[in-house]
Structure 1
Amino acid sequence: MSTQYHGSCLCGKVKLTVPFANTHLSACHCQTCRKWSAGPLMTLAHSGDITIEGQENISHFNSSQWAERTFCKECGSHLYYRLKDTQNYYFAPWIFDDIKDLEFTAEVFIDKKPICYAFANPTHKLTEADILAMAEGKA
């Protein structure tokens, strides 16, 4: 079962509808995500189709060999990053106006997290090596 959530960028030129199967929030502490979001990147994962209005207002940035990041061309709002050649999306949760019942469940690249902050929530923690092993099918 999924729940449709509706969101938009700050200026409203991009509108998204996503049928999330769950609302498990995760945080990434890698340097790329921290630079992109000015802190840990909080995301909601979705695999599958999404509906986008205002596609012409989205800019894509190839941030690595395996992922691209998207943002609104007009206001700069971060929308999502996507694993290339897949329908695996990681959305900025706060763009959704009707999002609710989030459960903070995971932190990735925990070994890259600066020591100046820590989340109080108990989460599943994965290191860079854990993530790379999963990407290579070894975990």
Structure 2
Amino acid sequence: MAVPCTGAVFDGPVKRYQSSDGFERGFCTECGSSLFFHPKGSDLHGIPFGLFDEQPDLPFKAEFFIDQKPACYSFSDETRNMTGEEFNMKFRSG
């Protein structure tokens, strides 16, 4: 689960890796923690929810790649659902 952030700035020991065509991920070079996923060419950074201390009220608004979710996943919150194709059209460059 990730929190979408725009305009994110990452200081410290951060390394970016191309994880797939058009996407990159960021990791801490000291501890190896996953810090974000980022569709290249966009301002979106998906930051793992677990990186935020004591933020129980962050809203659950969207599910991405809904067409690839396991059948057993079912969230009770009303969310905006985006297929992988819809996500790629909105956030991915070329």
Q: TM-score range by the shorter chain?
A: 0.7 to 0.9
Please tell me whether the aligned partners of residues 16 and 24 of structure 2 are also in contact (alpha carbons under 8 angstroms). Answer: yes
Q: Which runs of 5+ in 1 are unaligned?
A: 1-41
**Percent of residue pairs bearing the same amino acid type:** 35
Pick from 39, 48, 56 the counterpart of residue 7 of structure 2: 48
Kindly provide the CA deviation profile for residues 13-69 of structure 1, in whole angstroms up to 9, marking residues without a partner as x. xxxxxxxxxxxxxxxxxxxxxxxxxxxxx11112215252x2xx2222201222210
CA RMSD in angstroms comes to 2.2
Residue 34 of structure 2: aligned partner: 78
Q: Mean alpha-carbon deviation: is it higher for 90-99 or for 108-117?
A: 90-99
Residue 22 of structure 1: aligned partner: none
Kindly provide the CA deviation profile for residues 53-108 of structure 1, in whole angstroms up to 9, marking residues without a partner as x. x2xx2222201222210111232211111222443211112212253521101111
Residue 74 of structure 2: aligned partner: 118
For the pair shown, the structure with the greater C-alpha radius of gyration is 1
When the two structures are aligned, how many residues end up with a matched partner? 92
Are residue 104 (structure 1) and residue 56 (structure 2) matched? no
For 1:116 and 1:80, locate their aligned partners in 2 and report how far apart those are by CA, in whole Å. 25
